[in-house]
Structure 1
Amino acid sequence: MTLEADILAAFPAEVQIPARLVADAVAASSAVTPRMLVVLDDDPTGTQSVSDLPVLTSWDVEDFIWAFGQAKPAVYVLTNTRSLDPAEAAERNEEVVRNALAAAGSSAAGTGSTGESNLRLGFVSRSDSTLRGHYPLEPDVIAATVAEVTGEKTDGVVLVPAFPDAGRVTIGGVHYMRGTGEDAGKLTPVAETEFARDASFGFANSDMAKYVEEKSQGRFAAESVIVLDLNIIRAATDPQTTANAIADAIAPATDSTPIVADIVTENDLRALSLGLEEAERRGKKLLYRVGPPFGRARIGQEIRKELSGAEAYAGNTPSLAGGLIVVGSHVGVTTRQLKALTEQHSAARIIEIDVEKLLAAETETAADDYLNQTVSTVVDALRGGDVIVHTSRLLIKTDNPAESLRIARTVSAAVVAVVNRTLKTFPPRFVIAKGGITSSDVAAHGLEIRHAIVRGPMLPGIVSLWEPVDGPAKGIPYIVFAGNVGDDQSLADVTRKLSNTF
């Protein structure tokens, strides 16, 4: 570990930049033809940094027309590609981009007198702040699809994995994780954390240029990566001077050149956003591969204060039933959060889905019988209070990435079945889903959410609340809780806000 203060001493201090300055720059560029960012979110936790934006869990042309009709600067599309194999992920990215472009060009989305679309789209590939996911495959597919459909070639792919609210920062081109507790103020290169040993998306480099070379298998050499370090991000106290410096640094980018940005604070993200806006004004065509807070900064949205329990239920009458907390993630922080919740919430019923038993079921009927028994137990428990449903904590590992994904899907399908059957039998007061794949599948299939509005965070900068606007879960607050964020008390804190028995 290294002290953050020691590393930052070599760079300029951050420059205060109001969100309104970015919003005004975005508005100016959209004055003639409005622009909307389409965020392809590889799991639903990318919404935790934004508020009052539409979310789609399906991506037919009609779904995009609904989203575009909300007249917001961005829409999040829940692709869940982190749970898919590369071929499936590529196919899904292409389908989303094609349908978004078709919707933008449709008469329902609005066209000018010449027949040209009245809506410009920008594309964001949102992924993990700990560098797990299908890179460079996803931005490659987005760029290729945009080029095929529109003829527009991508000059640069901007990588911004930083997530300061969750302790992930990039300094000097190196991506770090901040320590907590006794290790507060210290930084660990992300390649030295448990996330780098991910069975499906492991990696060896914390230096972002070297990470790009590693993941692209040498297609992009480390020395070809443009690095926007803090000397550029904080080039001057005048925001326009900084924006020009960033745009100048990006100018050489061509043919999807990777561009890495240092980020430590929200002000850094806003400075970067001004620079990207200037680069695009000059004609650069950019795609983005980013962590959660980038979208907020890029559209000039203020940081939304955490929602209270009353705000979570605003406009809806809370059920008297218990709430349902579903935990699928196996990372260390999730296990600690689950332990804290179960120790503090003595009134909650704890029900485990036995993964080994599920995987060992000899027939689909046997597995289904086991799930039906679990649902019956959950429903009975909800009548008396909150229920915590978690998968067994023994993580079944394999050296085969494809097999790892298959196991993850099997487990997630079981969780989804339990949630869906419970919802149709006895709707809970609220639903919290812990873990990226878990929360995605619970949203799209367990709760059958098609369209939602992300209202804001339940904790400062992290953990988003969705309001389903259709389907059987309409009116039930849905909390998307990433597996790798928060401290040991965070799950208990969110549950306490929503519960009527905690």
Structure 2
Amino acid sequence: MELSALSHLPGADESRADSLLKEELSDFCRKIVVLDDDPTGIQTVHGIYVYTDWEEQTLLQAFEAQENMFFILTNSRSFSAAETEEVHRLIARRIDAAAKQTGKEYIVISRGDSTLRGHYPLETDTLRGALGGLTGTDFDGEILCPFFLEGGRYTIENVHYVKDGGTLIPAGDTEFAKDKTFGYHNSDLTAYIEEKSGGTVRREDCMAFSLEELRFGDIAALTGKLMSAGHYRHIIVNAADYTDIKIFCTALIRAMKQGKNFIVRSAAALPKILGGVPDQPLLGPSSLFPHPGRTGGLVIVGSHVHKTTSQLEDLMNSHQARTIHFMEFQVDAVFKGGLEAEASRILASAESCLRAGKSVVIYTSRQLLIPEGADKDAILAASVSISDALTSIVSRLTVKPRFILAKGGITSSDVGTKGLSVKKALVMGQIKKGIPVWLTGPESKFPDTPYIIFPGNVGDTHTLREIVEELS
């Protein structure tokens, strides 16, 4: 489908959607708890805190805070299925305990990848069972909404698309669907749910909110449709514009006020709207660096998707490349027992360059030669080991970089939590569409440092180069 086809969709009344949503949010008092399976789910928000652990005291602090929404970085996309289930049961118990202690109602959003990768439906099914057992009620439905405008992800007639240049490609036909750990075949979300559930949910049993319904904007009818859901109905939200999400969230809030309970599986767009987070301009150097610094910036590229490789090549071939020190981290060392030596080699050179005021780009070699017969868990374990080695470079640094940028989900999570030891970070906003920035907390290795979290599947060919040029 050509991108121009979006212009032929029914029109959306944005001002009316804004007015209706604002009215419903004015007395919506549920705490919004977003469980993020990697650090990129904050790519639409600002002024929100991210917590990197789920200790009882941490969650109590988050529930007591004045903000109506907070994120918990689980990084579960790097977990095995068994570990994911165990962690989500534990988090569910602690969320419910904190809510009861503070006397607050809540809704849980499982923030997943906009290209449909991740432990789905394991995470939402686990939350349903654990939270349902704690509260004594079942959930009326699970809402699936992978729309993410900033990344070019649209759902039209139940088919989820990924923007590539001027073309919308069905998600099942992209490289993301061929993921060795989280691959899938179906782009139609009803069929995707049936596929990922192993057939326990039939596609014909799913409920869908079409673009026509949402853009017609009959809130009473939309709310009534949600009120009719029960027995954990699977609900798909079509969306091609933020207005569609605003109308749906208006109906969702009304339904929740009337006693309905849902678990949400969404990309980054829906939490922003449900949380009432306003738009703000993209961040620039003056916002990120209130004080001058003399050290260079550190860029770590771990993602191996084609888009990331193209972005890295564009940076390496740019005029700016003459002022940057590039180092290739040999990932095949993972199968030869040499990751520690490889990390030490990179560290020594990086420290010297950073201290001299030169920015450094550390990138993993673009191909991992997987041994024949390796299963999904072995491949995931190798990826985690490589990320741990990259992270150790950050944790062993003695020079504070002017900024840090990490490319890729697992990489950016490990750099933030293990390398920088961040426990609580403020989301400053975005430096480019869909590319968020943390301000590291006082407990971290390098306090008050802008940490740029660059998803592997976001941006165009020139985005990485533009960021590095702007900040160097």
TM-score by shorter chain over 0.5: yes
Aligned to 2:346: 374
Give the match's secondary structure for 2:59: helix
Aligned partner (choices 373, 376, 400) of residue 375 of structure 2:
400
Aligned to 2:260: 284
Aligned to 2:162: 177
CA distance in 2, matches of 1:432, 1:260: 34
CA displacement 1:407-460 (0-9 Å, x = unmatched)? 1111111111011111xx111111000001100111110110000110101113
Letter in 2 for 1:198: D
Deviation of 1:282 after TM superposition, in Å, equals: 2.1
Sequence identity of aligned pairs in percent? 32
CA displacement 1:245-274 (0-9 Å, x = unmatched)? 222222332222110010101111111111
Aligned to 2:145: 160
CA distance in 1, matches of 2:286, 2:5: 42
Aligned partner (choices 346, 349, 352) of residue 325 of structure 2:
349
Give the match's secondary structure for 1:28: coil
Deviation of 1:19 after TM superposition, in Å, equals: 4.3
Q: How does 1:53-452 map to 2 (within 5 A)?
A: 53-106=48-101, 110=102, 117=103, 119-180=104-165, 184=166, 186-236=167-217, 242-314=218-290, 317-344=291-318, 345=320, 346-361=322-337, 367-384=339-356, 385-397=358-370, 400-422=375-397, 425-452=398-425
Letter in 2 for 1:12: P
Call closer, same or farther: CA 1:318–1:472 in 2, change over 3 Å.
Answer: farther
Whether the 8 Å contact between 1:23 and 1:301 is mirrored in structure 2 is no
Whether the 8 Å contact between 1:328 and 1:412 is mirrored in structure 2 is yes
CA displacement 1:162-220 (0-9 Å, x = unmatched)? 1111111000111011231xxx1x32111011111000111110000000000001111
Give the match's secondary structure for 2:26: helix
Aligned to 1:3: 2
Query: Which TM-score applies when normalising by structure 1?
Result: 0.89
CA distance in 2, matches of 1:19, 1:453: 26
Whether the 8 Å contact between 1:19 and 1:302 is mirrored in structure 2 is no
CA displacement 1:61-116 (0-9 Å, x = unmatched)? 1112332343112111100111111111111112222222222233xxx4xxxxxx
Return 489-498 or 87-96, whichever deviates more: 489-498
Whether the 8 Å contact between 1:455 and 1:467 is mirrored in structure 2 is yes
Letter in 2 for 1:29: F
Give the match's secondary structure for 1:466: strand
Deviation of 1:340 after TM superposition, in Å, equals: 1.3
CA displacement 1:34-75 (0-9 Å, x = unmatched)? x21110000000001111101011111111233234311211
CA distance in 2, matches of 1:453, 1:69: 16
Letter in 2 for 1:467: L
Deviation of 1:29 after TM superposition, in Å, equals: 2.6
Deviation of 1:383 after TM superposition, in Å, equals: 1.6
RMSD: 1.6
Whether the 8 Å contact between 2:158 and 2:190 is mirrored in structure 1 is yes
Whether the 8 Å contact between 2:329 and 2:342 is mirrored in structure 1 is no
Aligned to 1:468: 440
Call closer, same or farther: CA 1:251–1:483 in 2, change over 3 Å.
Answer: same
Give the match's secondary structure for 1:133: coil
Aligned to 1:498: 471
Whether the 8 Å contact between 2:296 and 2:354 is mirrored in structure 1 is yes
Query: Which TM-score applies when normalising by structure 2?
Result: 0.95
Call closer, same or farther: CA 1:484–1:278 in 2, change over 3 Å.
Answer: same
Deviation of 1:279 after TM superposition, in Å, equals: 1.6
CA displacement 1:336-392 (0-9 Å, x = unmatched)? 11111122222110111111124312xxxx542332222111101112210001111
What runs of 5+ residues in structure 2 fail to find an aligned partner?
none
Deviation of 1:8 after TM superposition, in Å, equals: 6.6
Letter in 2 for 1:68: F
Give the match's secondary structure for 1:159: strand
CA distance in 2, matches of 1:141, 1:446: 30
Letter in 1 for 2:27: A
